[in-house]
Structure formats: structure tokens, C-alpha cells
Amino acid sequence: MEVEILNYSQRHISAWITSEGGKKERWLLTGFYGNPETSMREESWQLLGSLKPIASSGWCVVGDFNEILTQDEKWGGRARPEKQMSRFRKVLEDGGLYDLGWRGDKFTWSNKHEDETFTKERLDRVVANLVWKDIFKEGWVEVLVDRSSDHRPILLTMNQLENQEWKKQRVFRYEAKWALEEECEEVIKKVWQRDNIKRLNGLLEDSKGALMSWSKHLDKEKGRSLREKSERLKQLQGMEGIHNIEEIKGLQREIGEMLEIEDLKWKQRAKLNWYQLGDRNTKFFHNCANQRRRKNAIKVIHDEQNRRLSSPSEMEGVFNRYFQKLFTSSEPSKDEITNCLKNVEPRVSNEMNVNLTRSFTRLEVEDAINQMAPLKSPGPDGFKKVLEHLVSPNQSAFIPGRLITDNIMVAYEVLHTMKARQHGREGSMAIKLDMSKAYDRIEWSYLEEVMFKLGLCKMWIDLVMSCVKTVSYSVLINGRPGKRIFPQRGLRQGDPLSPYLFILCAEGLSSLLNSSDSKGETRGVTVARGGTRVNHLLFADDCLLFGRAKEEEWVRYQKLLMIYERASGQFQNKDKIAVFFSSNTREEVKGRIKELGGDVIRGSYEKYLGLPPLVGKSKYNTFMSIKERVWKKINNWKNIFLSASGKEILVKAVLQALSTYAMSVFKLPKRLCNELNMMLAKFWWGNSQKTNCVHWCSWEKMGDQKDRGGLGFRDLIVLIWLY
């Protein structure tokens, strides 16, 4: 490639890059260094803004910006002031620059301190405009290992050709567009009528093969037909008149139907659950699908010995070894399982068992299918009705009548009480746990014993275990499936039955904790004198324990967790375990407990179920993360391809939902709600060419219903009072 220096200074160097080969692309590369002095940072942003190329050329900026975009790009130390980050975000928006992300570790700088002042941040990055991204569709950024500097180097790779060793292999996926073809039903009927004495698995396999063969032929025919019709339409429109207007309309209608099928194809590949309605926008769906493909592409990995591997065979071997080990049973003994479940009592009545095992009618099957989303699997409707009778009040996930906000509010009240407790000889502690690969580690023998202890009948248990055990996996690496893996444990991810079975398994831990509390071996925390003690809260694999701030209490909790781990196969994620102490806990007690925890206590107590567990002096700063998340969603480059109806759906279904979840528990500051409204209004009225656009209607008016001249957007200021 040819390099031509354009300009340079102490803080930057810009050069035109012209690629060699058939198609000579010319684009601008800028190496940039942001001023490390906060007071001088504004000069850096002014410089960066002035470097934007006038022509619509590709532009890529790489370097040390000495600033972060959001708080999650910083670990440790004081929070970054919002004004600093917002100015950085603004200069990127004005330049039409988008972050290219990273592969490997997020953080590129650390202060190398060996005490509690340790801090790391993502200061180095690569940003580029849409023209550059269109030239280099396969570009990515990798964070490398530093040798001696406090910064880690970053490597930008552009349009590296895919490894030729990867052989494309067609994998069966149900295509939603098949349902629009009349022949699809006939293809399936032929298979089932030809050999109806086969077992169900055999018929499904034959159906898969028939559909793949038929669809391959169909795609070729449809592509050829679309080209021919488009060419014919072009010819007719060149001679348009009264004599051929009817034929033109007919061709336009046929082409429209064919493009509708193409639209459905890319909509399915985009995997956007929020975009259920709206106009045809194949370009948007196509870009979403391409972004997913680039994001999921695996270029290099590091194995157990931290060796860098890139060949397909080596990568496949690493993945297979990892998942084979993950799904291999630890073979818990009968005594270990019995010891864990000794306090679980039967809760299923004979009437419940009869309801669970009774034969289902044709009408029930039809109702269940009609209630399903078009591309979803049926769920365990009957099981859900009895689940609330089996699960202790400490769990609230997937149980009718119990909400995720229940756990959040209880946790907030308990933690607030602990923080406000200034007096008293005995302190309290809260331990936040997280189970690593929780679903994948559930032992089948443990699950079976849990259902038996709860009183479920053998017929039901056998049916459930048949669903759980008849499974196999293959790892899909860059579109190519690897060797088949037959697991010995684990619950299938995505199976609608799995969340409910996991809740039953967690009853083992819940019963151990409740029994220990009732015996006085551990003791939960009360919010008021004489109030109910709260010793733990469970939501799926998130667990929050409460107890006295004593060494014996810590040891006892660890013993109970070890009993549960050995029986169930669960394993604590040490990187996410965090401890919070009440204000009256003495420092020497905290020190001894942390010393006992050792490497176990590594996490930070910043979020519980997606919301802050405590609110400090500034509620605005506490909930600033909502604003950052909304900005990330808005600043996603693919949103530029959204039409007006697409923007409307994104605002209603995604952007405003980010704030309403927090508002269901906390009253957000009016200032923050105003800023969120302003961000949404700017996104709605903006476009890809202009950063500052005229707002032709107030956001308050936009909140009116459509029959009153608005668009039905929710005004967050009004929602404050509704909640």
C-alpha cells in the first residue's frame, strides 16, 4: 500500500493510505494521542474534530485517547465525571466515528498498583466512520499483551482473508420463509406418508434431509426467477403505456412478494426480538446479520497453556476438550446428594401428580401451539401451575405472582439498613454469589433426587429425565460444526423446561440455608426490631446471603456451599463473589473475614439483578449507567439504516424499556429523565448526514396517542409520577 503523510503535530499524525491491487481504495488513517491532563483535554477534542476529512472518504482513528466513553470501561478508583465522557462521546458523534470494539481483554491501561488503589481503564481504541467500515467489512481490533509498559498494545487487522482451511458445511436451520411456500407442506407430507412406521426421530431426520434438498433447489429457482422478472419489468417500463400497464402491475406484485420472502430471511438472521413490526427494511436486517457474523467470527484463541492458536483443527480441539470436560459428570455419591437434600420436604400432592400426568387433549395442544410465537418452541405450561407450591419464598424467578423487583426491593431495604446501622457490637454482612456455568453443571442424579424428594411421581420424573438426557451438542466454529459431544450432566440452554428445573435444583441450597438459620448456626438480617429475618435471596443463578459479620459465620456458609456444590455439580465463580459489611462492623473483623476468604473475594458489589443495591448521596450519579446504556444503543452504527417506523419501534421497545425497569423500583431524578428524553428526541429527529437536526415537534406532543397527533412515546417525566 502507498502512504502519503497529510499533516501532523505533537498529538497526531494523519496519512492517506492507498491500497494496492485491483480496486485501489483511498482512506485516511489518523494516529491520535489525547492530552493526559484533564484541563487540556478540550484542546485534544478540538484537534480531533478539525481532522475530519471534508470529502466522503474512509477515516480511521487509532491511538491513546486518554478518556473513556462509559463507566464500565473503568475498574477501580473514583468514578469518571460525566462531563468528561459526554464531551468525548460528542466529538465522536460529530465526526461520524464508531468504536470498532475489541477482542481479548477490554482494559488497555492499568496503574500497576498492588493495593486497593489498583485501577484499569480502556484508554486505547480504534474508531472509524461508515465509509471505512464499508471498505473493511472484516476489520477487527485485538488487545495484545504488554511487556513492560502500563499500556497494552492494540492490533488493527483489516480484511484478512478467511482461513482457506475452513470448509463451509451447510447446517440445517428452519427457515421462516418456507412457511410461505405451498410446496413445503407437501415435502413433509411425502416423508411421513412414505414410511410412517419409523420412530419419530427417524421421521424428523428424513424430514430434515428432504427440506434441505428442496430448499437448495428452491433458492436457485427463486433467484433465477427474480432476475428474469426484474429484467422483464425493466424492458416493459421502457415501453410503458396503456397496452402493457396491467402486465407491469402484475410483475411488480410478483417481485414484491418475492422480496417479502427475502426480507423475512434477513429479519430471521438479524435475530432482533424487538423488531416484530415495521416496514420492509432488508438493508437494515442485512447489516444486522453481517454484524452478528463478524462478531461471532473466531480468528484466534488461547488454549489452556495460553498458546495462541489460529488453525481450524487446533481451535476445534481446544473447544471440544473444554466442553467435554464441562459436560463430564463429577459423579456425586448417594451420600453427598442425601446430605444436601435431607431438609427438603415433599410438597407435591396426589392431585398435583394426577394433573401433571393426565393425558392432554387435542384442544390443549392446539391452544398451546396457537399461543406460541411463530419461531419458538412450546413451554411446560402444566408444570408451571404447580411450581409455586414447590419453591421456597426465597426464590422469585419464573414463578407466577413473584417478580424480579421483589428481590431487588428486599435486597435494597436490607442493605440500606446495614449501611445505616452505626451502633451495635455485632455487625452484619451480605455475600453476593454467582455460579459459573450454572445450567451446564447440574448433575442429573441430583436433579432426579430433588424431584423425588419434592414428591413428584416416578412417571413424571422419567418423562422429564428423558427430555434432559436425550441431548447431544456440537460446537459451531465459524459456521462449521465440530465433533458430536454427548453430555453426562447439564440442562440444555434455550430449552423452556430448563429454567424451571434449575429452580428445583436450587431448593437444595435454599433448604440448607433455612435449616442452618432455624438451628441458630447462621442468622439472617432483620430490617426492624422483631421483623422477619432474611438469610438469603435467590433469582436463578444469582444468590445473595445475609449473616452476622463473624468468622464462624463465614466458615459455616462456605461449608454449606461446599455441600451443595459436591451434590449438584455447581461451582462458585470466584471473580464475581463480593462481600458488603454493615457500617458498625469493626475493621479488624472485616480483615479477618477477608483473610479467610482469600482469593474467593474478588468481585465488586456494584449491581444486583441489573440495578444498584445502594443509592448514594447523588441519585443522578447512581443511575448514570442507564444514560450510558441508552447512548450505546443509539450510537450503534447499524441504526443509521433504520427507517422512521424502525426508529419508532426501537425507541418504544428497547430504549425506553431500559429506564422503565429501574423506574419500577426507584424514582429517577428529574434531571436524568430530561436528559434521556433529549437523547431520544435527538435520535428520532437526527439522520446519518447531520448531527444537529431541527426538532419539528416537542417531545411532550410526541407522547400523545397517534389519534391525537402524536406517536405514543412515553415521557419519562410523566412516568416518574405514574410509578
Can you tell me the mean pLDDT for 439-458? 93
Dist CA 181 CA 185 (whole Å)? 8
> pLDDT of 342-394, one tens digit each?
999 998 888 888 888 888 788 877 777 776 666 554 444 445 555 556 666 66
For residue 685, give the nearest of 622, 634, 719, 632 by alpha carbon.
634
DSSP 3-state assignment of 381? helix
For residue 67, give the nearest of 83, 49, 54 by alpha carbon.
83
Exposed / middle / buried, residue 493 (Cβ in 10 Å: 0-12, 13-18, 19+): exposed
Q: Does the pLDDT of residue 268 top 60, yes or no?
A: yes
Q: Count CB-CB contacts under 10 A for residue 701.
A: 14
Note the pLDDT of residue 221: 87
pLDDT band at 13 (very low <50, low <70, confident <90, very high): very high
pLDDT band at 222 (very low <50, low <70, confident <90, very high): confident
Q: Does the pLDDT of residue 26 top 50, yes or no?
A: yes
DSSP 3-state assignment of 15? strand
Between residues 405 and 418, which one has the greater pLDDT?
418
Between residues 469 and 719, which one has the greater pLDDT?
469
Dist CA 195 CA 159 (whole Å)? 49
Amino acid identity, position 645: S
Backbone angles phi and psi of 260, in degrees to 5: -65, -40
Q: Does the pLDDT of residue 21 top 90, yes or no?
A: no
529-533: long-range pairs with CB below 8 Å, 24+: none
C-alpha cell at 268: 430471521
Tell me which of 152-161, 217-226, 575-584 is least confident.
152-161
- Whole-number mean pLDDT of the chain? 82
Can you tell me the mean pLDDT for 283-296? 67
Q: Count CB-CB contacts under 10 A for residue 650.
A: 23
Between residues 177 and 454, which one has the greater pLDDT?
454
pLDDT band at 554 (very low <50, low <70, confident <90, very high): very high
> pLDDT of 195-207, one tens digit each?
665 677 788 888 8
Q: Phi/psi class of residue 140: alpha, beta or left (left: φ > 0; alpha: ψ in -120 to 50)?
A: beta
DSSP-assigned beta bridge partners for residue 64: 33, 124
Task: Kindly list the distances between the CA atom of residue 430 and the CA atoms of 76, 90, 577, in Å, as whole numbers in the listed order.
Answer: 20, 40, 11
CATH of domain 2-157: 3.60.10.10
Tell me which of 55-59, 94-98, 153-157, 711-715 is least confident.
711-715
Note the pLDDT of residue 381: 47
Dist CA 322 CA 603 (whole Å)? 24
Note the pLDDT of residue 722: 54
Dist CA 135 CA 17 (whole Å)? 12
Tell me which of 13-17, 467-471, 641-645 is least confident.
641-645
> pLDDT of 315-341, one tens digit each?
888 998 999 999 999 999 999 999 999
Contacts of 671 (CB under 8 A, 6+ apart): 620
Dist CA 624 CA 317 (whole Å)? 43
Q: Which residues of 410-419 are buried (b: 16+ CB within 10 A; e: fewer)?
A: bbbebbebbb
Q: Count CB-CB contacts under 10 A for residue 698.
A: 11
Whether 27 contacts 59, CB under 8 Å: yes
DSSP-assigned beta bridge partners for residue 547: 429
Note the pLDDT of residue 394: 63
Query: β-pairing, 98-99 with 124-128?
Result: antiparallel
For residue 603, give the nearest of 76, 87, 30, 47 by alpha carbon.
76
Q: Considering the entire predicted model, what is its pTM?
A: 0.71
Q: Count CB-CB contacts under 10 A for residue 301.
A: 15
Q: Of 26-30, 306-310, 571-575, 714-718, which one has max mean pLDDT?
A: 26-30
> pLDDT of 76-89, one tens digit each?
888 898 889 999 99
Tell me which of 37-41, 50-54, 427-431, 571-575 is least confident.
571-575
Dist CA 102 CA 139 (whole Å)? 11
Q: Does the pLDDT of residue 508 top 80, yes or no?
A: yes
Tally the C-alpha atoms within 13 A of residue 118's C-alpha that lie toward its C-beta: 7
Note the pLDDT of residue 289: 64
Task: Report the first-to-last Cα separation within the chain, whole angstroms.
Answer: 60
Q: At what angle do helices 624-634 and 670-685 cross, to 10 degrees?
A: 0
pLDDT band at 553 (very low <50, low <70, confident <90, very high): very high
Between residues 347 and 31, which one has the greater pLDDT?
31
Can you tell me the mean pLDDT for 553-561? 93
Contacts of 358 (CB under 8 A, 6+ apart): none
Can you tell me the mean pLDDT for 261-288? 61
Dist CA 305 CA 313 (whole Å)? 17
Between residues 449 and 20, which one has the greater pLDDT?
449
Dist CA 103 CA 161 (whole Å)? 18
For residue 166, give the nearest of 474, 473, 478, 484 by alpha carbon.
478
Q: Does the pLDDT of residue 241 top 80, yes or no?
A: no
* In the block, residue with C-alpha cell 391452544: 367
Note the pLDDT of residue 192: 83
Note the pLDDT of residue 85: 92
Q: Please report the DSSP string for 494-553 in residue order.
A: T-TTHHHHHHHHHHHHHHHHHHHHHHTSS--B-SSTT---B-EEEETTEEEEEEES-HHH
Q: Which residue intervals of 239-311 are DSSP H helices?
A: 245-270, 282-296
pLDDT band at 275 (very low <50, low <70, confident <90, very high): low
Q: Which residues of 354-393 are buried (b: 16+ CB within 10 A; e: fewer)?
A: eebeeeeeeeeeeeeeeeeeeeeeebbebbeebbeebbbe
Tally the C-alpha atoms within 13 A of residue 607's C-alpha that lie toward its C-beta: 12
Q: Does the pLDDT of residue 164 top 70, yes or no?
A: no
Q: Does the pLDDT of residue 173 top 70, yes or no?
A: yes
Amino acid identity, position 39: S
Task: Kindly list the distances between the CA atom of residue 121 and the CA atoms of 73, 84, 148, 150, 456, in Å, as whole numbers in the listed order.
Answer: 6, 14, 17, 11, 52
pLDDT band at 721 (very low <50, low <70, confident <90, very high): low
> pLDDT of 452-486, one tens digit each?
999 999 998 998 999 899 888 888 888 788 888 99
Exposed / middle / buried, residue 570 (Cβ in 10 Å: 0-12, 13-18, 19+): buried
Q: Please report the DSSP string for 188-226 in residue order.
A: HHHHHHH-TTS-HHHHHHHHHHHHHHHHHHHHHHHHHHH
Kindly list the domain boundaries of the chain, sorted by start residue. Answer: 2-157, 176-270, 331-600, 619-722
pLDDT band at 162 (very low <50, low <70, confident <90, very high): very low
Note the pLDDT of residue 397: 57
Percent over 70 (pLDDT), the chain: 86
Whether 593 contacts 558, CB under 8 Å: no
Q: Does the pLDDT of residue 127 top 60, yes or no?
A: yes
Dist CA 641 CA 687 (whole Å)? 9
Whether 109 contacts 151, CB under 8 Å: yes
Task: Kindly list the distances between the CA atom of residue 460 and the CA atoms of 451, 463, 498, 645, in Å, as whole numbers in the listed order.
Answer: 9, 5, 15, 47
